[in-house]
Amino acid sequence: MAERYQSDPVDVAPLGQPLKFEFSGRTAKNRLYKASMGECLASWSPKNPEERGIPTKELIDLYRRWGEDEWGIIAAGNFDIEFERLNSIGDGIITPDCPPSGPRFEAFKELATAAKANGSLVVAQLAHPGRQLSAAVKKDTISASAIQHPPKMGNTYAVPREATKEDIADIVNRFAYAAEYLQKAGYDGIQLHGAHGYLIAQFLSEVSNQRTDEYGGTLEKRLRFVVEVAEGIKKRVKPGFILGIKLNSVEFQEKGVKPGEAKVMCEKFQELGFDYVELSGGNHEDIGYGGERESTRRREAYFIEFVRDIVPHLSTTKKFLTGGFRTAAAMVDALAILDGIGLGRPAAQEPRLASALLSGRVTGAVRPKDEILNNFIAHLSAAGTQIWQIARGQEPFDLSNAKAVESYNAAFGAHIGRLVADAGKLEVYGFPEVTSPETASHPYGTAY
């Protein structure tokens, strides 16, 4: 029996209430949002870029499993918009060179159909890495400014140049084309990844955006890039298509959100017709091995204040929050100021968590062992391993089981060794694969 977070008694009915998006007119069947997580399951070729990024049977089957449950919204991806500038190896990829027909298109279409089979809305998260591009994948990239991402945990990043106006126009077109392509493939909408240090966040942040032209300086100017992306998408898609954006506090933290900036930002998103904002936290520079360090606590406190600063200025645009929700009581309480609850890693541990919460079968997510909770990278990687298990027809291993965690930790160490030995050949990627009886002995749908 899995160990769970304990929840105060609560009526979960508010979690089951439908949510209408005012701009698109679409309605989610409930308030539970399966947040986007990197799957690393699309096709990959180190040498032939055009063979990259096609949804595989495993990726489609993963979304089939989430689609069988009661999620109000399922966010898929990251999906990238260039073959060589990738967020992660194994991402789905859509470029203007990809026609809305043929094997790639049919695979994206099949993924959407699988995710929507039980009435969930499916949105695709579109992203560009900007300066957060691994130098092993490509040596050069673009960003808001020519400021290289610092090395982190043995990773080095591509050298960026400041994006020209021609570069910006090209990226805007790529986002817009991908949105149109996905609408044709049956997706209900897209979400722009404006968090975690990716390209949109690089333009929004005063730290990474030190331009002196119309794309840098004041918040209004730093918003110009995402404004042009949103407007480009709106011109290409038909009515009824959801447009969302993911934001976080870290891009604003170092120099702080000046008085009124959150208000300006939110008013702009509503003016542009964003159906929702997903608030999140963290970026590559924040990822570390520690647990509740003082810096972590300060960042979490700032994040709470950031949410409080954002929420009052969003009315027509809906508010989702992803990160930290583990009990039904906390989720219901949060709906006093939010419109939806985002769940990431808990949905990898339990793809059927939405129905379990809504039915009252459980009132809390599985609680991982402390050694996982206190090691962010190991926890993130474990969720990836669970995602791969689901995709391959296995029940995800139980992170509250000490023997399973011990087995996973051994696999995690071995995977890190293989990544180091790969030495930039790009043949090893993704997540640890587990094979022990404690982690990989149960077909999907059978309990541990």
| Domain stops at, among 367, 382, 400 | 367
- What pLDDT score does 284 carry? 40
pLDDT tens across 35-57, in order? 999 999 999 999 999 999 999 99
- What pLDDT score does 308 carry? 77
Same domain for 182 and 292? Answer: yes
| Domain stops at, among 367, 383, 401 | 367
- What pLDDT score does 47 carry? 93
Helix (H, G, I), strand (E, B) or coil at 120: coil
- The yes-or-no verdict on residue 147 having pLDDT over 80 is yes
Displacement of CA 412 from its chain's centroid (Å): 22
The reply to whether 160 falls in a domain is yes
Structural domain span for residue 382: 371-448
Same domain for 111 and 131? Answer: yes
pLDDT bracket for residue 250 (50, 70, 90): low
pLDDT tens across 332-374, in order? 999 999 999 999 999 999 999 999 999 999 999 999 999 999 8
The candidate with the shortest Cα–Cα distance to 446, out of 400, 396, 405, 401, is: 396
The reply to whether 4 falls in a domain is no
The 3-class SS string of 261-326 reads HHHHHHHHHHHHCCCEEEEECCECCCCCCCCCCHHHHHHHHHHHHHHHHHHHHCCCCEEEEECCCC
| Domain stops at, among 313, 337, 367 | 367
The pair of structure tokens assigned to 163 is 């994006």
The reply to whether 379 falls in a domain is yes
Same domain for 163 and 248? Answer: yes
% of the chain at pLDDT higher than 70: 91
Higher per-residue confidence, 338 vs 263: 338
Same domain for 402 and 447? Answer: yes
Same domain for 41 and 116? Answer: yes
The candidate with the shortest Cα–Cα distance to 208, out of 152, 170, 271, 250, is: 250
Same domain for 429 and 306? Answer: no
The candidate with the shortest Cα–Cα distance to 189, out of 79, 41, 313, is: 79
- What pLDDT score does 302 carry? 60
Same domain for 94 and 215? Answer: yes
Same domain for 297 and 392? Answer: no
- What pLDDT score does 292 carry? 42
Same domain for 302 and 404? Answer: no
pLDDT bracket for residue 238 (50, 70, 90): very high
Cα–Cα distance measured from residue 133 to residue 129, given in angstroms and rounded to the nearest whole number: 5
pLDDT tens across 268-296, in order? 999 999 999 998 864 444 433 234 445 55
The reply to whether 309 falls in a domain is yes
Same domain for 331 and 376? Answer: no
How many domains is the chain partitioned into structurally? 2
The reply to whether 389 falls in a domain is yes
pLDDT tens across 410-439, in order? 999 999 999 999 988 999 999 999 999 989
| Rounded mean pLDDT, 303-321 | 84
Same domain for 157 and 302? Answer: yes
The candidate with the shortest Cα–Cα distance to 125, out of 38, 250, 203, 61, is: 38
Helix (H, G, I), strand (E, B) or coil at 394: strand
pLDDT tens across 106-141, in order? 999 999 999 999 999 999 999 999 999 999 999 999
The reply to whether 8 falls in a domain is no
The reply to whether 356 falls in a domain is yes
Average pLDDT, the chain: 92
- What pLDDT score does 285 carry? 40
Q: CATH code at 29?
A: 3.20.20.70
Same domain for 350 and 433? Answer: no
The reply to whether 1 falls in a domain is no
